């Protein structure tokens, strides 16, 4: 069930960015972009290959190039990532 929902969400997001939108809402990044990035950045760990979503990858690159960006690996302590 979750695999189908994940794919549907990624397909919708890919279509949004492929239609020429650079951000989720408006002409500049918003908290919506930052929040969703925090989820999408871990999609690879679910087994989904984000290379099949070039517009999402381009959006992620735009987020990563924002001032003061830091990847989750430098922000989250390793022990918080362990399954309990």
Residue from 8, 23, 83 nearest 53 by CA: 8
Spatial distance between the Cα atoms of 35 and 42, rounded to a whole number of angstroms? 12
Spatial distance between the Cα atoms of 63 and 72, rounded to a whole number of angstroms? 12
More confident residue, 43 or 78: 43
**pLDDT over threshold 60, residue 83:** no
**pLDDT over threshold 60, residue 61:** yes
In a domain, 75, yes or no: no
**pLDDT over threshold 60, residue 84:** no
In a domain, 30, yes or no: yes
In a domain, 45, yes or no: yes
pLDDT digits (tens, 9 = 90+) for 3-30: 888 899 999 999 999 999 999 999 999 9
Total domains in the fold of the chain: 1
CATH number of domain containing 19: 1.20.1050.10
In a domain, 56, yes or no: yes
Domain that holds residue 62: 2-69
DSSP for residue 59: H
């Amino acid at each position: 069930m979750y695999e189908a929902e994940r794919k549907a969400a990624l397909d919708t997001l890919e279509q949004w960015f492929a239609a020429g939108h650079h951000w989720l809402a408006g002409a500049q990044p918003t908290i919506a972009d930052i929040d969703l990035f925090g989820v999408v950045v871990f999609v690879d760990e679910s087994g989904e290959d984000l290379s099949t979503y070039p517009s999402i990858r381009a959006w992620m690159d735009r987020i990563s190039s924002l001032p003061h960006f830091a990847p989750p690996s430098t922000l989250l302590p390793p022990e918080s990532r362990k399954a309990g």
